[in-house]
Amino acid sequence: MPRCPTVLLVLLRWMHMHLWARRWRCRAGNNNRLPLCVQQRWAYFRLMVRSLYYNSLTGSDVIMDSLMEPVFWMVDLMTRWFGPVFVGLVVVLTSSILLIAYVGLLPMVLSTYSLPWIAWHIGYGHWNIVMIVFHYYKAIRTAPGYPPRVKNDLPFVSVCKKCIIPKPARTHHCGICNACVLKMDHHCPWLNNCVGHFNHRYFFCFCLSLTLGCVYCSISGRNLFIDAYGAIERFKHTDLEKSGIPVTGIGLLIGILPPGQSTYQTPAPLYTFRDKIFHKSIIYMWVLTSTVAVALGGLTIWHAMLISRGETSIERHINNKETERKAKRCKVYKNPFNYGRLNNWKVFLGVEKRSHWLTRVLLPSGHAPSGNGLTWDLYPIRKDMMPV
């Protein structure tokens, strides 16, 4: 009997909490008057906040990713919007260099160089232009490759949380394209396209061709740049100087001057407007090509190293983490897609016989890459896959 007051107290407290909960739910029901989009945003925000402290597996990385999600979303959105602008910028800058080369440099080469040097500049220059234009166009217009969205029996390693489809090996989701990409390397804003299985070779060949073209312009135009820079400095000093002899004395006081004569007798300038434009164009071309050669050259070398190791930019990060995890267990991690340095290049370039080094590497070629991007050979025998 002494415990009865305690039981009654517990029942009263439970009834009070139950009534308070019903009142709160009734008040919350009034929020249904809000627009549906506002309700969805509010529900998503509450879910995101609760996920930070209701999940027992939550760590610092998950919390930072959740907090930085709006920033990532904004970057992806801006990249998607400004993709056509970047493509137009590449076309405009490349066209400006070609205009300077054809209008300003080609007549000078034809009039001053010897016949072997003329043949070299014209031959190499036009080969380089064809390689740049062809591979850039193919890199933009070729889809990187997407996994099938219908039911199939292909092997997969996981399920994409955003696309809700099976992901084959080496497939990753691109937030900018909002799709899963086969053998995804990265999303390139200068292409306004993802770099994946079917256009990876076009992207690399474009970077290599453009780097070689910029290095060619930078080296061959070095002396022209030095002369143009000196000419521009002379033009500046000439504009500042006031040549001629001033009229002084009684003639200046009474305003009596010979017919057609001014206060200063200045001769005609030794240069023309066309000369100034030509020299400034040479400086613009040399500075632009040298800057692009350094920046794009580093990117090209980096991708060449990745290709030699049989991995992409994303896989490089994953393989480094796996190597560290295995090292803690005194084990060695091996990249299952590394077929050996030479074989990696053969598979990447699609070289299957000796003539392909000319027809598929040194000349523009639209051949498809090896494989379909859905299945991959793991740990092949360490010998030449293609006897070339």
**Distance in angstroms (rounded) separating the CA atoms of residues 166 and 262:** 86
Q: Which residues contact 143 (CB under 8 A, 6 or more apart)?
A: 196, 198, 199
**Distance in angstroms (rounded) separating the CA atoms of residues 166 and 155:** 9
Output phi, psi for 102, to 5 deg.
-80, -40
Known catalytic residue at 177: no
**Distance in angstroms (rounded) separating the CA atoms of residues 333 and 318:** 11
**Distance in angstroms (rounded) separating the CA atoms of residues 20 and 10:** 15
To the nearest 10°, report the CA torsion of 212, 218, 224, 225.
Answer: 160
Q: Which residues contact 220 (CB under 8 A, 6 or more apart)?
A: 121
**Distance in angstroms (rounded) separating the CA atoms of residues 274 and 136:** 33
Output phi, psi for 18, to 5 deg.
-65, -45
**Distance in angstroms (rounded) separating the CA atoms of residues 213 and 28:** 66
Contact 191, 87 (CB under 8 A): yes
Contact 162, 73 (CB under 8 A): no
Is 180 in a helix, a strand, or coil? strand
- Where b means 16+ CB within 10 Å and e means fewer, 166-191 reads bbbbbbbbbebbebbbbbbbbbbbbb
Smallest CA-to-CA distance from 374 within 149, 133, 60 is with 149
What is the 8-class DSSP label of residue 30?
G
Give me the catalytic one of 180, 188, 207, 217.
188
Q: How many residues does the chain have?
A: 388
Cα atoms in the 13 Å half-sphere on the side-chain side of 312: 22
Catalytic residues: 188
